[in-house]
Amino acid sequence: MFSFTYARSVRSPLFAGLSVLAASSALRAQDAIVPDNFPSIQAAVSGAHDTDGDGTIEIFVRAGTYNENVLILRPALALIGESAASTFIQGSGAVDAVHLERVQHVEIAGFTVSNHGTQDGIELQRARHCSVHDCVLTDNRDGLVLNRNAATTAFNNLAIANTDTGIKLGGSVDCQVTSNTSRQNGSHGFRLQSSNGNVLGQNLAEANVEDGFRLDQSSSNVLAGNKALANLQSGLRMRNTSFNTISQNTFAQNAEWGIRRRDWNADDFDGALAGAQDPIGDNTVVGNQLGALRED
């Protein structure tokens, strides 16, 4: 019933699950190279032009550490680091390390983004048709934030050891968040707040301080094929939700409940059967310390 497209991945201690991006990046058309043509990422974002006339400003960032905060207010731009294993954006901790606002068709890939644990790593605000992929988000407040986005994708990212939530959607619609890993964050692995019609598929939430997946005041979302393992509260926690489909997920070995919900209406826990099915449905819920299900 559910289908997703995934990138090829590699395995290493920190960068497990990230695509092999460096080789493909060098083959892409490039309108600007940092630091060859511009001394900083921000200078390239502000000053580069679409020299090849293909409709997108392609900026390639060579391996290195860039101590700066990046603000993107231009549409149709691709900001591609050499690889997350070698290309680092270190924010000041005063504002988002990378902030996009009111843009369309912007792509960010191939960076490790950190921000002293005090502000967010990458935040997209009121963005449409954008993508963030193959990035590592660590030592931020929230790792990746989609704030009032539409039709944005986030895939193959690793959010690890952020002080709050790994990947968060707030007021977002029709977004796809797939094949990401969110682990060891100070709050939730993945959180949806007032977000409707999104798809979360094949993500891993592991060893987060609170819940693996948290949904608040959100409806008509699909969570399919995800895993929430060894989180310190519940695998999935839901409050004020309706018409969500929770299917073929695994919630296992969490310190509290596999699934915990409150104030729900017509959430469906079996995507293969007609009508709204109650938990556990077709999900796997095993080995949670306080039990499989709590309904407050």
Quickly state the pLDDT bin for 7 (edges 50, 70, 90): very low
pLDDT of residue 85: 98
- Averaged pLDDT score across all residues of the chain: 92
List the one residue out of 132, 127, 86 whose CA is nearest residue 107. 132
Which one has a higher pLDDT value, 19 or 203? 203
pLDDT of residue 29: 62
Between 12-16, 39-43, 147-151, 166-170, the lowest mean confidence (pLDDT) is in 12-16
Exposed/middle/buried for residue 209 (C-beta within 10 Å: 0-12, 13-18, 19+): middle
Share of the chain above pLDDT 90, in %: 89
Report yes or no on whether pTM surpasses 0.85. yes
pLDDT of residue 28: 59
Q: What does the pLDDT look like over 234-277, one tens digit per residue?
A: 999 999 999 999 999 999 999 999 999 999 999 999 999 988 99
Task: Name the strands in the sheet holding 291-295, side by side, starting at the edge strand that comes first in the sequence.
Answer: 70-72, 98-101, 122-125, 144-147, 167-170, 190-193, 213-216, 236-242, 257-265, 291-295
Dihedral sign (CA 138, 205, 146, 51): positive
pLDDT of residue 260: 98
Asked whether the predicted pLDDT for residue 76 surpasses 60, the reply is: yes
Side chain identity at 29, as an amino acid letter? A
- CA distance linking residue 12 with residue 268, whole number of Å: 36
